[in-house]
């Protein structure tokens, strides 16, 4: 299989960006101070049980700083290491399509015009229920002049888990949002979480099988993080549900990669290490170790992305 004659036994983001842009692309995580319909009462209150105060954007910029300043903070570090790097700014915290269209347009244009010559596109994290025809149509127009990536949180395809984590959004809404965005040729990256309460290996493999059937282009794997001052931290304290060990995470994620459609780009294999607010699992602080263990496991099995996938590529 051509794709996996490259360095890694899976379709990496580095490889994809090299094919597409021919250079290193740095992702600049920004916080534009949006909120979320799962927090303000439109869909639910309090948010998903694992959601942290910054709206699952713990490593995004400081919302109190102007976007340019947030951009510069990361750009300066990256440019000292890779002088010819280009950028994909990433609106990460909360739901970044949840506002009036005029406001969205202003923010996206502001971000794209901070360093227009060095910016290859914009990545926007949101919820499936924050995509409607009007927004998709606008994103489609924007996608004609730059590259628009939409990052959609699914977390799990098990609807019971969805209720348990207070996702307040259904699989059907997810499928509808994917179909709508693809009508406008917009690249979609799905986020999933491994190790959600009471999920077993089958649930996590089923989530991959669910994604394989959809016209999505990328995936981010995360491990569940129990962070201080979240609802899931209280649930964990009370119920002490099973938390994945490093070996279990590596084993399950390896199996998921082997089942994953080969054309889906893997943007992330493990959550970024959080230090101050992390309660469990502590091994998640060593992201590189997690990634290396997954590589090692795939190689020891002589396996690669999609080896067990039975369907067709998109």
List of E strands, the chain: 25-30, 86-91, 121-126, 147-155, 187-194, 218-223, 226-227, 265-268, 278-280
Tokens at residue 306, please?
A: 């999609």
Q: Is 36 in the site for ligand SF4 (CB under 6 A)?
A: yes
Does 297 interact with ligand SF4 (rule: CB under 6 A)?
Answer: no
Give the residue from 176, 112, 117, 114 showing the smallest Cα distance to 143. Answer: 112
Stretch that binds ligand SF4, among 20-28, 45-53, 263-271, 284-292 (CB under 6 A): 45-53
What is the nearest approach in angstroms of ligand SF4 to the Cβ of residue 192?
13
Q: Which residues contact 118 (CB under 8 A, 6 or more apart)?
A: 85, 86, 87
Is the separation of the CB atoms in 176 and 135 below 8 Å? no
Q: Give 266-288 as a 3 state SS string.
A: EEECCCCCCCCCEEECHHHHCHH
Binding residue (CB under 6 A) for ligand SF4 from 127, 255, 267, 297: 127
* Residue 158 within binding range of ligand SF4, rule CB under 6 A: no
96 binds ligand SF4 (CB under 6 A): no
Number of neighbouring beta carbons within 10 Å of residue 184: 19
Interface with ligand SF4 in residues 48-77 (CB under 6 A): 48, 51, 55-56
Ranked by CB distance to ligand SF4, the top (closest) residue is 47
Q: How many residues bind ligand SF4 (CB under 6 A)?
A: 12
Q: Which helix (H) or strand (E) holds 159?
A: helix 159-164
Closest distance of CB 125 from ligand SF4, Å: 8
In the complex with ligand SF4, the residue whose CB is nearer, 274 or 307, is 274
Q: In terms of CB distance, is 37 or 306 closer to ligand SF4?
A: 37
Q: Find the distance separating the first CA and the last CA of the chain, reported in whole Å.
A: 16
Q: Give the Cα separation of 194 and 201 in Å (integer).
A: 9
47 binds ligand SF4 (CB under 6 A): yes
Which of 67/227 has CB closer to ligand SF4? 227
Residue closer to ligand SF4 (CB basis): 26 or 153: 153
Q: Which is nearer to ligand SF4, 42 or 105 (CB)?
A: 42
- Nearest C-alpha neighbor of 193 from the set 269, 303, 137: 269
Which range, of 11-19, 31-39, 143-151, 273-281, touches ligand SF4 by CB under 6 A? 31-39
User: Can you give the binding site for ligand SF4, defined by CB under 6 A?
Assistant: 36, 38-39, 47-48, 51, 55-56, 94-95, 127, 153
């Amino acid at each position: 299989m051509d794709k996996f004659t490259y360095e890694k036994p899976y379709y990496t983001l580095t490889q994809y960006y090299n094919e597409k842009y021919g250079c290193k692309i740095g992702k600049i995580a920004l916080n534009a101070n949006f909120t979320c319909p799962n927090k303000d009462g439109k869909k639910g209150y309090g948010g998903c049980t694992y959601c942290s105060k910054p709206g699952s954007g713990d490593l995004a910029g400081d919302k109190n700083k102007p976007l340019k300043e947030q951009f510069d903070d990361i750009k300066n570090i990256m440019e000292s290491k890779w002088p010819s790097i280009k950028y994909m700014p990433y609106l990460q915290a909360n739901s970044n399509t949840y506002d009036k269209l005029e406001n969205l347009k202003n923010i996206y244009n502001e971000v794209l015009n901070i360093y227009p010559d060095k910016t290859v596109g914009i990545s926007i994290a949101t919820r499936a229920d924050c995509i409607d025809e009007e927004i998709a149509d606008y994103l489609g127009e924007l996608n004609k002049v730059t590259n628009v990536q939409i990052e959609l949180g699914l977390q799990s395809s098990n609807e019971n888990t969805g209720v348990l984590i207070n996702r307040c959004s259904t699989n059907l809404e997810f499928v509808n949002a994917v179909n709508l965005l693809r009508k406008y040729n917009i690249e979609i990256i799905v986020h999933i979480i491994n190790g959600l309460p009471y999920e077993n290996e089958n649930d996590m493999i089923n989530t991959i099988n669910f994604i394989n059937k959809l016209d999505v282009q990328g995936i981010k794997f995360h491990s569940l993080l129990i962070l201080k001052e979240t609802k899931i931290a209280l649930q964990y304290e009370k119920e002490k549900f099973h938390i994945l060990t490093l070996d279990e995470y590596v084993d399950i994620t390896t199996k998921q990669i082997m089942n994953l459609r080969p054309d889906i780009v893997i943007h992330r294999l493990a959550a970024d290490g959080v230090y101050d607010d992390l309660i469990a699992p502590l091994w998640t602080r060593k992201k590189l170790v997690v990634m290396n263990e997954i590589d090692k496991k795939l190689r020891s099995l002589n396996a690669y992305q999609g080896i067990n996938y039975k369907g067709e590529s998109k």
